[in-house]
Chain A
Amino acid sequence: MSHLSTDEFVDLLDDVLPAARGEHLRTCVQCRTEAEGLTGVLVRATETRDVPEPSPLFWGHLASRIREAVAASVARTWRELVWWPGSAWAAGVASMVLVLLVSQSSFRRSAEREFSHAPFESAASRLTRGTPEPIDDLEGDQAWAVVRTVADEAGDNAADDAGIATRPDAAERMTLELSSHEKSELALLLASELKRSGTGPR
């Protein structure tokens, strides 16, 4: 007759091992030794059943502390609603466009002067003219600098606060991992939005 399986040893401890298999223990020293060892350690583990009681005040205050914690988590829900439904990409692009719109609107007048005399021309400016040329020095581009800055700020634990499990600096890393083509596409998207809203550089 074969030795008891792990399942059968557990059944033995639970006192539900079929009698026929129980007979094997009478003749098999190996299984009997194993069974005695398991029984012994189970008895010993059971001796530590009691858990020390916490302070009596703990039970009295637990419900109110839970309500307080729930209320605090509900207060954060609006941030989750902003962040959760879309991906980090959508949230990142949305915030970038928003911030760029605001910043371009605020600095429209000065930007007009600066762009006319600047040694370089921004990607957004070129794209809004309808000539999406390749960007030679993207990292030095003014519009792309805005994108990187916004992404850096967006990654500042905002997702963690909103209860979203993202990698640290995910938004910033996202911008670093984009290819040149993707960066150009993002700049084009921003420029199109600027052109549509009439707030972009002229």
Chain B
Amino acid sequence: MLTRTWAPASDPATMRVRVTRSSPPDAAAPVSGRTDYTALDEQGLVDASLAGHTAAFDVIVERYSRRIYQLCYRFVNNHEDARDLTQDVFVRAYRGLRGFRARAALGTWLYRIAVNVSLNRMALKTPQTEALDRREHRDRTIELPDTALLRSERAAEVRAAVARLPRKQRATLILRVYHELPHQEIADILGSTVGAVKANFFHALANLKKLLQ
């Protein structure tokens, strides 16, 4: 069994990792004195992270942070909350890495965490509509062409309408339309079935249609 000690320091750059028995993956061969974790596959990165190699977890963050950020933003519609949620997702992921073993793809697992924390955040506060604020700011400063302005307004309307959908429908719509995930993966993320995902997607679109009329 691996024993990991992560001694926190005031400066995170000086955090020490002591591993009493670890087995760094062979694929992570030293490159110019530093270990290249980018060559590892998902399980290798997870194993290396569990062994206390924080640089391996950094690679996971680097690979998935943009997608996770975009997913969180879709729920909360503002940068501040999306930034906080993204960080929260990876902190939770790190703490739960041991539970990831033998589960679905790493991305699916991270998406599941992101959906859960985003839905929880939504339950705690009314989402801001940054798109509207940004549009107003632009109106005062930059003269947009009519087509661009129209597109911006239509996008704001869609975001506002999506924000009014029930939680499951909203999550399904976001994962399907904006992240283009297959129904089965969405079902895995939401802890649901393909049939339920399809039903939620249908009702999400039907409700969105009503809201946009």
- On A, residues with C-beta under 8 Å from B are 6-7, 9-10, 13, 37-38, 40-42, 44-49, 51-52, 54-55, 58-59, 62-75
Total A-B contacts with CB atoms under 8 angstroms apart: 102
Instruction: For the complex of A and B, list the 5 residue pairs with the smallest distance between their C-beta atoms, beginning with the closest.
Output: A71-B8, A68-B12, A6-B202, A48-B155, A41-B209
Consensus secondary structure, chain B interface: helix
Query: Which one of B74, B154, B209 lies within 8 Å of A38 (CB-CB)?
Result: B209
Size class of B's contact patch? 35 or more
Are the CB atoms of A71 and B12 closer together than 8 Å? yes
Which residues of the partner chain A approach B206 to less than 8 Å between Cβ atoms? Answer: 37-38
In whole angstroms, what is the CA distance A57 to B155 when docked? 26
Are the CB atoms of B65 and A59 closer together than 8 Å? yes
Which residues of the partner chain B approach A73 to less than 8 Å between Cβ atoms? Answer: 91, 95
- On B, residues with C-beta under 8 Å from A are 6, 8-9, 12-13, 15, 54, 57-58, 61-62, 65-66, 69-70, 73-74, 79, 82-83, 86-87, 90-91, 94-95, 130, 134, 151, 154-155, 158-159, 162, 173, 177-178, 183, 195, 198-199, 201-203, 205-206, 208-209, 212
Are the CB atoms of B198 and A41 closer together than 8 Å? no
Are the CB atoms of A54 and B198 closer together than 8 Å? no
Are the CB atoms of A54 and B79 closer together than 8 Å? yes
Which residues of the partner chain A approach B61 to less than 8 Å between Cβ atoms? Answer: 62-63, 66
For residue A76, which residue of chain B has the nearest CB? B8
CB distance from B54 to the nearest CB of A (A): 6
Which residues of the partner chain B approach A9 to less than 8 Å between Cβ atoms? Answer: 202
Which residues of the partner chain B approach A59 to less than 8 Å between Cβ atoms? Answer: 65-66
For residue B206, which residue of chain A has the nearest CB? A38
CB distance from A171 to the nearest CB of B (A): 25
Q: A6-B199, A10-B202, A41-B205 are known; give 4 further A-B pairs, CB within 8 A.
A: A7-B195, A7-B202, A47-B155, A65-B87
Are the CB atoms of A67 and B162 closer together than 8 Å? no
Which residues of the partner chain B approach A75 to less than 8 Å between Cβ atoms? Answer: 8
Are the CB atoms of A67 and B87 closer together than 8 Å? no
Query: Which one of A7, A45, A62, A67 lies within 8 Å of B54 (CB-CB)?
Result: A67
Query: Which one of B83, B159, B201, B205 lies within 8 Å of A58 (CB-CB)?
Result: B83
For residue B155, which residue of chain A has the nearest CB? A48
CB distance from B164 to the nearest CB of A (A): 13
